[in-house]
Structure 1
Amino acid sequence: MSAQDLRKAREKCYRLLAARSRTEQELRHRLADAGFAGDVTDEIILELKHKNLLNDEAYAGNWVRWRLTVKPVGREYLRKELKYKGIGSEIIDSVLIDYDHERELQNALTLARQRLERERGITWRRLAAFLHRRGFSTEIVAAVYRLLVEVER
Protein backbone atom coordinates (compact mmCIF):
# COMPACT_ATOMS: atom_id res chain seq x y z
CA MET A 1 0.00 0.00 0.00
CA SER A 2 1.64 3.20 -1.16
CA ALA A 3 1.05 6.70 0.13
CA GLN A 4 0.03 7.72 -3.40
CA ASP A 5 -2.69 5.03 -3.53
CA LEU A 6 -4.01 6.18 -0.16
CA ARG A 7 -4.05 9.80 -1.30
CA LYS A 8 -5.90 8.95 -4.54
CA ALA A 9 -8.43 6.78 -2.72
CA ARG A 10 -8.97 9.47 -0.09
CA GLU A 11 -9.53 12.10 -2.79
CA LYS A 12 -11.99 9.85 -4.60
CA CYS A 13 -13.95 9.28 -1.40
CA TYR A 14 -14.02 13.00 -0.61
CA ARG A 15 -15.38 13.74 -4.09
CA LEU A 16 -18.04 11.05 -3.73
CA LEU A 17 -19.04 12.23 -0.25
CA ALA A 18 -19.15 15.86 -1.39
CA ALA A 19 -21.86 14.93 -3.90
CA ARG A 20 -23.99 13.06 -1.34
CA SER A 21 -23.59 10.87 1.72
CA ARG A 22 -22.82 7.22 1.07
CA THR A 23 -22.88 3.93 2.89
CA GLU A 24 -19.74 1.95 3.64
CA GLN A 25 -20.77 -0.64 1.05
CA GLU A 26 -21.26 2.02 -1.63
CA LEU A 27 -17.78 3.44 -1.03
CA ARG A 28 -16.21 -0.01 -0.97
CA HIS A 29 -17.80 -0.83 -4.34
CA ARG A 30 -16.76 2.49 -5.87
CA LEU A 31 -13.16 2.08 -4.68
CA ALA A 32 -13.04 -1.51 -5.92
CA ASP A 33 -14.43 -0.42 -9.30
CA ALA A 34 -11.69 2.22 -9.47
CA GLY A 35 -9.09 -0.53 -8.97
CA PHE A 36 -7.97 0.16 -5.43
CA ALA A 37 -6.68 -2.79 -3.41
CA GLY A 38 -8.60 -4.11 -0.42
CA ASP A 39 -6.02 -2.94 2.13
CA VAL A 40 -6.18 0.61 0.74
CA THR A 41 -9.98 0.54 0.86
CA ASP A 42 -9.98 -0.79 4.43
CA GLU A 43 -7.56 1.93 5.55
CA ILE A 44 -9.57 4.75 3.96
CA ILE A 45 -12.91 3.41 5.26
CA LEU A 46 -11.46 3.24 8.78
CA GLU A 47 -10.11 6.79 8.45
CA LEU A 48 -13.48 8.13 7.22
CA LYS A 49 -15.31 6.41 10.07
CA HIS A 50 -12.86 7.85 12.59
CA LYS A 51 -13.48 11.34 11.18
CA ASN A 52 -17.24 10.62 11.30
CA LEU A 53 -17.54 11.22 7.55
CA LEU A 54 -18.88 7.71 7.09
CA ASN A 55 -21.64 6.57 9.42
CA ASP A 56 -24.14 3.96 8.23
CA GLU A 57 -26.50 4.55 11.15
CA ALA A 58 -26.75 8.29 10.49
CA TYR A 59 -27.13 7.58 6.77
CA ALA A 60 -29.98 5.13 7.40
CA GLY A 61 -31.80 7.52 9.73
CA ASN A 62 -31.52 10.37 7.23
CA TRP A 63 -32.61 8.10 4.38
CA VAL A 64 -35.74 6.97 6.23
CA ARG A 65 -36.70 10.55 7.17
CA TRP A 66 -36.16 11.77 3.61
CA ARG A 67 -37.98 8.81 2.08
CA LEU A 68 -41.05 9.17 4.29
CA THR A 69 -41.22 12.88 3.56
CA VAL A 70 -40.79 12.68 -0.20
CA LYS A 71 -42.49 9.40 -1.09
CA PRO A 72 -44.00 7.47 1.83
CA VAL A 73 -43.62 3.72 1.64
CA GLY A 74 -44.15 0.75 3.93
CA ARG A 75 -41.69 -0.68 6.44
CA GLU A 76 -40.73 -3.61 4.24
CA TYR A 77 -39.97 -1.35 1.29
CA LEU A 78 -37.68 0.73 3.49
CA ARG A 79 -36.08 -2.41 4.91
CA LYS A 80 -35.32 -3.71 1.40
CA GLU A 81 -33.93 -0.37 0.23
CA LEU A 82 -31.60 -0.08 3.20
CA LYS A 83 -30.52 -3.73 2.89
CA TYR A 84 -29.72 -3.10 -0.79
CA LYS A 85 -27.57 -0.13 0.22
CA GLY A 86 -25.57 -2.40 2.53
CA ILE A 87 -27.02 -1.35 5.86
CA GLY A 88 -26.97 -4.10 8.50
CA SER A 89 -30.12 -5.57 10.02
CA GLU A 90 -29.41 -4.19 13.50
CA ILE A 91 -29.12 -0.64 12.17
CA ILE A 92 -32.25 -1.09 10.04
CA ASP A 93 -34.22 -2.26 13.06
CA SER A 94 -33.01 0.69 15.14
CA VAL A 95 -33.93 3.34 12.56
CA LEU A 96 -37.32 1.78 11.80
CA ILE A 97 -38.35 1.55 15.46
CA ASP A 98 -40.12 4.93 15.25
CA TYR A 99 -42.01 3.93 12.09
CA ASP A 100 -44.69 2.10 14.02
CA HIS A 101 -47.94 0.51 12.85
CA GLU A 102 -49.99 3.68 13.40
CA ARG A 103 -47.66 5.92 11.43
CA GLU A 104 -47.44 3.39 8.61
CA LEU A 105 -51.23 3.14 8.52
CA GLN A 106 -51.57 6.93 8.34
CA ASN A 107 -49.09 7.10 5.44
CA ALA A 108 -50.93 4.35 3.57
CA LEU A 109 -54.28 6.03 4.19
CA THR A 110 -52.97 9.37 2.93
CA LEU A 111 -51.59 7.75 -0.22
CA ALA A 112 -54.85 5.88 -0.81
CA ARG A 113 -56.90 9.06 -0.46
CA GLN A 114 -54.61 10.93 -2.85
CA ARG A 115 -54.91 8.13 -5.38
CA LEU A 116 -58.70 8.06 -5.03
CA GLU A 117 -58.87 11.81 -5.68
CA ARG A 118 -56.62 11.55 -8.74
CA GLU A 119 -58.33 8.54 -10.27
CA ARG A 120 -62.09 8.58 -9.96
CA GLY A 121 -63.58 5.11 -10.21
CA ILE A 122 -60.38 3.24 -9.32
CA THR A 123 -61.14 -0.28 -8.21
CA TRP A 124 -60.16 -1.49 -4.78
CA ARG A 125 -58.02 -4.18 -6.40
CA ARG A 126 -55.91 -1.58 -8.23
CA LEU A 127 -55.65 0.58 -5.11
CA ALA A 128 -54.56 -2.40 -3.01
CA ALA A 129 -51.97 -3.36 -5.65
CA PHE A 130 -50.65 0.23 -5.59
CA LEU A 131 -50.25 0.11 -1.80
CA HIS A 132 -48.57 -3.31 -1.94
CA ARG A 133 -46.08 -2.03 -4.54
CA ARG A 134 -45.25 0.77 -2.12
CA GLY A 135 -44.30 -1.85 0.47
CA PHE A 136 -47.35 -1.76 2.72
CA SER A 137 -48.25 -5.08 4.29
CA THR A 138 -51.50 -6.94 3.71
CA GLU A 139 -52.51 -6.03 7.27
CA ILE A 140 -52.05 -2.31 6.58
CA VAL A 141 -53.87 -2.52 3.23
CA ALA A 142 -56.79 -4.31 4.91
CA ALA A 143 -56.93 -1.63 7.62
CA VAL A 144 -56.98 1.10 4.94
CA TYR A 145 -59.85 -0.70 3.24
CA ARG A 146 -61.81 -0.92 6.49
CA LEU A 147 -61.25 2.78 7.21
CA LEU A 148 -62.20 3.89 3.71
CA VAL A 149 -65.32 1.70 3.61
CA GLU A 150 -66.43 2.98 7.03
CA VAL A 151 -66.03 6.59 5.84
CA GLU A 152 -68.14 5.95 2.72
CA ARG A 153 -71.01 4.39 4.71
Structure 2
Amino acid sequence: MIVMEIVPVDKRRSKVFLDEDFALVLYRGEINRFGIKEGEELSEDTYQEILKDVLFKRARERVLYLLKASDKTEQELVRKLKDGGYPKEAIEYAVGFVKEHRFINDEDYGKRYVEFNSRRKSEKQIQFELQRKGLDKEMIRDILKEQPVDEEAQIQAYIRKKRIDPQELDRKERSKVMASLGRKGFSYEAVNRVLGANFDDI
Protein backbone atom coordinates (compact mmCIF):
# COMPACT_ATOMS: atom_id res chain seq x y z
CA MET A 1 0.00 0.00 0.00
CA ILE A 2 1.22 3.51 -0.87
CA VAL A 3 1.16 6.47 1.53
CA MET A 4 -0.80 9.04 -0.46
CA GLU A 5 -0.80 11.94 1.99
CA ILE A 6 0.00 12.84 5.61
CA VAL A 7 -2.32 15.53 6.99
CA PRO A 8 -1.97 17.07 10.50
CA VAL A 9 -5.02 16.53 12.73
CA ASP A 10 -3.68 18.62 15.61
CA LYS A 11 -0.30 19.60 17.06
CA ARG A 12 0.67 16.00 17.88
CA ARG A 13 -1.23 13.73 15.48
CA SER A 14 -1.56 13.31 11.73
CA LYS A 15 -3.85 11.31 9.45
CA VAL A 16 -1.98 8.98 7.13
CA PHE A 17 -3.96 8.38 3.91
CA LEU A 18 -3.26 5.12 2.09
CA ASP A 19 -4.16 4.02 -1.42
CA GLU A 20 -6.49 1.34 -0.01
CA ASP A 21 -8.99 4.18 0.55
CA PHE A 22 -8.58 4.41 4.31
CA ALA A 23 -6.46 6.30 6.80
CA LEU A 24 -4.62 5.84 10.10
CA VAL A 25 -4.35 8.46 12.81
CA LEU A 26 -0.85 8.34 14.33
CA TYR A 27 1.33 10.51 16.51
CA ARG A 28 4.21 12.21 14.73
CA GLY A 29 6.76 10.19 16.71
CA GLU A 30 5.08 6.99 15.49
CA ILE A 31 5.15 8.19 11.90
CA ASN A 32 8.90 8.75 12.25
CA ARG A 33 9.41 5.46 14.11
CA PHE A 34 7.81 3.43 11.32
CA GLY A 35 9.46 5.46 8.56
CA ILE A 36 6.17 6.56 7.01
CA LYS A 37 6.63 9.06 4.17
CA GLU A 38 4.34 10.46 1.49
CA GLY A 39 4.66 8.71 -1.85
CA GLU A 40 6.45 5.70 -0.37
CA GLU A 41 5.20 2.18 0.19
CA LEU A 42 3.95 1.00 3.57
CA SER A 43 4.66 -2.72 3.65
CA GLU A 44 2.13 -5.23 4.95
CA ASP A 45 4.59 -6.24 7.70
CA THR A 46 4.93 -2.64 8.88
CA TYR A 47 1.16 -2.15 8.73
CA GLN A 48 0.62 -5.26 10.88
CA GLU A 49 3.29 -4.02 13.30
CA ILE A 50 1.49 -0.67 13.62
CA LEU A 51 -1.77 -2.48 14.29
CA LYS A 52 -0.38 -4.84 16.94
CA ASP A 53 2.08 -2.52 18.66
CA VAL A 54 0.08 0.70 18.57
CA LEU A 55 -3.52 0.72 17.37
CA PHE A 56 -4.89 -2.45 19.01
CA LYS A 57 -3.79 -1.25 22.43
CA ARG A 58 -4.95 2.33 21.81
CA ALA A 59 -8.38 1.21 20.57
CA ARG A 60 -8.78 -1.09 23.59
CA GLU A 61 -7.90 1.73 25.98
CA ARG A 62 -10.33 4.02 24.15
CA VAL A 63 -13.31 1.68 24.51
CA LEU A 64 -12.52 1.01 28.17
CA TYR A 65 -12.43 4.76 28.75
CA LEU A 66 -15.76 5.21 26.94
CA LEU A 67 -17.36 2.45 29.01
CA LYS A 68 -16.02 3.96 32.21
CA ALA A 69 -17.92 7.15 31.39
CA SER A 70 -21.23 5.40 30.55
CA ASP A 71 -22.77 2.19 29.22
CA LYS A 72 -22.52 1.75 25.46
CA THR A 73 -23.84 -0.73 22.92
CA GLU A 74 -21.56 -2.51 20.48
CA GLN A 75 -22.68 -0.26 17.62
CA GLU A 76 -22.04 2.89 19.65
CA LEU A 77 -18.48 1.76 20.38
CA VAL A 78 -17.87 0.90 16.72
CA ARG A 79 -19.15 4.34 15.68
CA LYS A 80 -16.93 6.12 18.24
CA LEU A 81 -13.84 4.23 17.08
CA LYS A 82 -14.62 4.90 13.40
CA ASP A 83 -14.98 8.59 14.19
CA GLY A 84 -11.60 8.41 15.95
CA GLY A 85 -9.93 7.16 12.76
CA TYR A 86 -9.27 3.57 13.87
CA PRO A 87 -9.03 0.95 11.09
CA LYS A 88 -11.43 -1.99 10.91
CA GLU A 89 -8.93 -4.47 12.40
CA ALA A 90 -8.35 -2.33 15.50
CA ILE A 91 -12.11 -1.79 15.95
CA GLU A 92 -12.80 -5.53 15.71
CA TYR A 93 -10.03 -6.29 18.19
CA ALA A 94 -11.14 -3.70 20.77
CA VAL A 95 -14.86 -4.55 20.57
CA GLY A 96 -14.03 -8.27 20.65
CA PHE A 97 -11.94 -7.71 23.79
CA VAL A 98 -14.71 -5.97 25.75
CA LYS A 99 -17.30 -8.53 24.60
CA GLU A 100 -15.07 -11.43 25.61
CA HIS A 101 -14.62 -9.91 29.07
CA ARG A 102 -18.33 -9.13 29.28
CA PHE A 103 -17.82 -5.39 29.60
CA ILE A 104 -20.59 -5.00 27.04
CA ASN A 105 -23.72 -7.02 26.37
CA ASP A 106 -26.40 -5.48 24.17
CA GLU A 107 -29.24 -7.49 25.69
CA ASP A 108 -28.27 -6.50 29.24
CA TYR A 109 -27.91 -2.89 28.06
CA GLY A 110 -31.41 -3.03 26.54
CA LYS A 111 -32.93 -4.41 29.74
CA ARG A 112 -31.31 -1.69 31.85
CA TYR A 113 -32.40 0.96 29.34
CA VAL A 114 -36.02 -0.21 29.41
CA GLU A 115 -36.04 -0.46 33.21
CA PHE A 116 -34.72 3.10 33.52
CA ASN A 117 -36.97 4.65 30.86
CA SER A 118 -40.20 2.64 31.08
CA ARG A 119 -41.85 5.22 33.37
CA ARG A 120 -41.05 8.23 31.21
CA LYS A 121 -40.93 7.13 27.56
CA SER A 122 -43.42 5.42 25.29
CA GLU A 123 -42.78 1.92 23.98
CA LYS A 124 -42.40 3.25 20.43
CA GLN A 125 -39.85 5.84 21.55
CA ILE A 126 -37.85 3.20 23.45
CA GLN A 127 -37.93 0.89 20.41
CA PHE A 128 -36.68 3.68 18.14
CA GLU A 129 -33.87 4.70 20.48
CA LEU A 130 -32.66 1.13 21.07
CA GLN A 131 -32.66 0.43 17.32
CA ARG A 132 -30.61 3.58 16.80
CA LYS A 133 -28.15 2.26 19.40
CA GLY A 134 -27.76 -0.95 17.38
CA LEU A 135 -30.09 -3.48 19.03
CA ASP A 136 -32.06 -5.62 16.59
CA LYS A 137 -35.86 -5.53 16.49
CA GLU A 138 -36.36 -9.07 17.72
CA MET A 139 -34.17 -8.52 20.78
CA ILE A 140 -36.04 -5.30 21.60
CA ARG A 141 -39.42 -7.05 21.24
CA ASP A 142 -38.31 -9.83 23.61
CA ILE A 143 -37.06 -7.33 26.20
CA LEU A 144 -40.30 -5.32 26.05
CA LYS A 145 -42.35 -8.50 26.35
CA GLU A 146 -40.40 -9.37 29.50
CA GLN A 147 -40.44 -5.76 30.81
CA PRO A 148 -43.61 -4.12 29.44
CA VAL A 149 -43.93 -0.33 29.38
CA ASP A 150 -46.93 1.03 31.33
CA GLU A 151 -48.03 3.65 28.82
CA GLU A 152 -51.37 4.24 30.52
CA ALA A 153 -49.64 5.29 33.76
CA GLN A 154 -47.46 7.74 31.80
CA ILE A 155 -50.47 9.19 29.98
CA GLN A 156 -52.34 9.59 33.27
CA ALA A 157 -49.30 11.35 34.77
CA TYR A 158 -49.18 13.63 31.71
CA ILE A 159 -52.82 14.71 31.96
CA ARG A 160 -52.45 15.26 35.74
CA LYS A 161 -49.37 17.42 35.15
CA LYS A 162 -51.22 19.42 32.49
CA ARG A 163 -54.31 19.60 34.76
CA ILE A 164 -56.47 18.07 32.06
CA ASP A 165 -59.88 16.58 32.88
CA PRO A 166 -60.81 14.22 30.00
CA GLN A 167 -64.50 14.58 30.89
CA GLU A 168 -64.40 18.34 30.32
CA LEU A 169 -62.62 18.33 26.96
CA ASP A 170 -64.56 19.33 23.88
CA ARG A 171 -63.85 17.62 20.56
CA LYS A 172 -61.19 20.14 19.47
CA GLU A 173 -59.35 20.07 22.82
CA ARG A 174 -59.47 16.28 22.95
CA SER A 175 -58.03 16.10 19.44
CA LYS A 176 -55.13 18.37 20.47
CA VAL A 177 -54.34 16.26 23.56
CA MET A 178 -54.44 13.05 21.52
CA ALA A 179 -52.18 14.55 18.85
CA SER A 180 -49.70 15.66 21.50
CA LEU A 181 -49.62 12.19 23.07
CA GLY A 182 -49.34 10.60 19.63
CA ARG A 183 -46.25 12.70 18.89
CA LYS A 184 -44.68 11.34 22.08
CA GLY A 185 -45.10 7.85 20.62
CA PHE A 186 -47.95 6.59 22.80
CA SER A 187 -50.13 3.96 21.17
CA TYR A 188 -53.64 4.59 19.93
CA GLU A 189 -55.00 1.93 22.27
CA ALA A 190 -53.36 3.36 25.43
CA VAL A 191 -54.41 6.94 24.68
CA ASN A 192 -57.92 5.79 23.84
CA ARG A 193 -58.27 3.83 27.09
CA VAL A 194 -57.13 6.72 29.28
CA LEU A 195 -59.07 9.49 27.55
CA GLY A 196 -62.10 7.29 27.00
CA ALA A 197 -62.73 8.41 23.43
CA ASN A 198 -62.38 6.86 20.02
CA PHE A 199 -60.30 8.56 17.33
CA ASP A 200 -63.04 7.72 14.87
CA ASP A 201 -65.36 10.06 16.75
CA ILE A 202 -63.06 13.06 16.23
| TM band (smaller chain) | 0.7 to 0.9
Structure 2 counterpart of 1:22, which letter? Answer: K
Conserved 8 A contact 1:75-1:99: no
Q: 2:145 aligns with which of 97, 104, 113?
A: 97
Query: Is it true that 1:110 corresponds to 2:157 in the alignment?
Result: yes
Q: Which has the higher helix share?
A: 1
Query: Is it true that 1:78 corresponds to 2:126 in the alignment?
Result: yes
Q: 1:125 aligns with which of 156, 159, 175?
A: 175
Q: Secondary structure at the match of 2:118?
A: helix
Alignment RMSD: 2.0
Number of corresponding residues: 141
Percent identity (aligned): 27
Q: Distance in 1 between matches of 2:124 and 2:187?
A: 8
Which structure has the bigger radius of gyration? Answer: 2
Q: Distance in 1 between matches of 2:147 and 2:67?
A: 27
Conserved 8 A contact 2:60-2:97: no
Q: Distance in 2 between matches of 1:51 and 1:90?
A: 25
Structure 2 counterpart of 1:77, which letter? Answer: Q
Deviates more, 1:18-27 or 1:90-99: 90-99
Query: Is it true that 1:57 corresponds to 2:107 in the alignment?
Result: yes
Question: Runs of 5+ in structure 2 lacking a partner?
Answer: 1-50, 198-202
Matched residue, 1:150: none
Q: CA deviation at 1:99?
A: 4.5
Conserved 8 A contact 2:114-2:147: no
Moved segments of 4+, more than 6 Å: none
Alignment of structure 1 residues 30-69 onto 2, 5 Å: 30-69=80-119
Q: Distance in 2 between matches of 1:53 and 1:2?
A: 22
Q: Tell which has more relative contact order, 1 or 2 (C-alpha 8 A, sep 6+).
A: 1
Q: Distance in 2 between matches of 1:135 and 1:126?
A: 15
TM-score (norm 2): 0.64
